[in-house]
Structure 1
């Protein structure tokens, strides 16, 4: 992605403005993610922000602002469908009047992100408009579309940003990216268990003591974190610090979830986050999962 040019005009200025809009979405919505992206090198950093900005907007259509604005499930579905179509069209033609979509399209075209990844993502977002309880099969399909493919989009960025022609990433890195996405999503499901059940009427995990327990889910999370940890050293050097910091943050959350059985949403204190980021910055290996 081109460096900043204060004399840019036309499409170059529009591209730069779109990338800035995507970055502002991430700064507003996630301090932890914003911190992690600062550990990325300048080559992948704007592209990862472009991916997550689109993901964030889609999520806000399904839950939160769109509903607060008075849109029922059918209306939110129509808006989500329109966003998916605009994303598909923008990737094909290289332009969108929606700045966040335009930024994503820049990244998708450069890094080889196509409908094989965006399709499952939007399908999972659409599921949240109708499904309230998931069995093992629908959980796995939902997590693949909502989290694993986002990890694969980021992996496409890590491997292909700045290349003249994108190439598929190695199979072992694909496995690691999917595992890390699964771990992130299941950690968030456990953190939001009471809110999802009470406010949204959703059950993603089936943690009822019969199908599985919290410890079963945490064991699976830690296995996925361990798998991902083994792959992180194989990533390009300008990506490892950020992915290590994110991995270690979720490993810390997993540990807190294992020991904290209260109803409050668990979080990692700001001082510990800073320590994890500093550890990653100095090139430490990702921590193995702990049980």
Structure 2
């Protein structure tokens, strides 16, 4: 979908090379790295379907085909595009339900573009497109089940909420608005039209509480990582620090229009990589 970047699954940027995902994954041992790039590829492909400008029925059918292919993978006869996944599924115990949750999350944007979901729907969306990715990932990293699920819960939501705040303008450009309805109403914004909402002077009253929510999830994710061995949390720690830095840049910039794009510069990325991967 070579359109402007939207609030796609957390960490799965338009291209792996040069992204925070790529930097974090390249430090992993070979088998883990291969599994993570398989997860990356899966997410990219289903995300491209959801975000394409093709007819909605065709996109729904393509996503259903992915569900069928995942089912075949777990029944022992994977289609060609998932054949290499079988070894990773077996080695790391990747769960069918998490792959399916990701497809379900992508599909939430297909029947109609998401616009001002309520908090419960937004949280479900974050769980499917981000925390489900985390649940697959923590198995690859080697975290114990309870802490792995907890880390996926908090870090996935933290990353996705940061994406939503970062991509307000890009999302509105394709007719989407992920800001929660309750937050809009609390700020006195009654419209669900993306372009009207992002131009509203009360927008910071919606975005700052969402930033605070993301921060709280980062704190909980850090607590989980702090009590686990450094070797198993290096990659998620790097992802977390990248996105925490982006979130703070967003807050410092503010959310009133006009909004300049926010990106973490190369020097800052290198410092994070060196500190949490090697030092």
Give the TM-score, by structure 1 length: 0.76
Is this contact kept in 2: 1:180–1:228, CA < 8 A?
A: yes
Q: CA deviation at 1:234?
A: 4.0
Is this contact kept in 1: 2:24–2:238, CA < 8 A?
A: yes
For 2:40, the equivalent position in structure 1 comes to 52
| More displaced stretch, 207-216 vs 137-146 | 207-216
1:203 and 2:159 correspond: no
Distance 1:30 1:218, change over 3 A: farther
Question: Could you say what secondary structure the match of 1:50 adopts?
Answer: helix
Q: CA deviation at 1:34?
A: 1.1
For 2:134, the equivalent position in structure 1 comes to 151
Q: CA deviation at 1:215?
A: 1.1
Pairwise CA RMSD of aligned residues?
2.3
CA distance in 2: counterparts of 1:43 and 1:113, whole angstroms? 13
For 1:36, the equivalent position in structure 2 comes to 24
Question: Could you say what secondary structure the match of 1:175 adopts?
Answer: helix
For 2:118, the equivalent position in structure 1 comes to 135
Distance 1:236 1:44, change over 3 A: farther
Q: CA deviation at 1:173?
A: 3.1
Structure 2: any 5+ residue segments left out of the alignment? 1-11, 190-204
Q: CA deviation at 1:195?
A: 1.4
1:70-123 CA-partner distances (Å, limit 9, x unpaired) = x2111111111112211221232153211xx22334322322222321222111
For 2:269, the equivalent position in structure 1 comes to 273
Distance 1:104 1:266, change over 3 A: farther
For 2:56, the equivalent position in structure 1 comes to 73
Is this contact kept in 1: 2:74–2:96, CA < 8 A?
A: no
1:19-69 CA-partner distances (Å, limit 9, x unpaired) = xxxxxx9894452211111122334221111111101111011114xx2xx
Is this contact kept in 2: 1:124–1:142, CA < 8 A?
A: yes
Match of 2:93 among 109, 112, 120: 112
Aligned ranges 1:1-291 → 2 under 5 Å? 28-32=15-19, 33-64=21-52, 67=53, 71-98=54-81, 101-129=82-110, 130-133=112-115, 134-159=117-142, 169-197=144-172, 199-206=173-180, 208=184, 209-210=187-188, 213-261=206-254, 262-283=258-279
Distance 1:201 1:274, change over 3 A: same
Give the TM-score, by structure 2 length: 0.80
Is this contact kept in 2: 1:38–1:45, CA < 8 A?
A: yes
Q: Which runs of 4+ in 1 moved over 6 A?
A: none
Is this contact kept in 2: 1:44–1:239, CA < 8 A?
A: no
Is this contact kept in 1: 2:135–2:148, CA < 8 A?
A: no
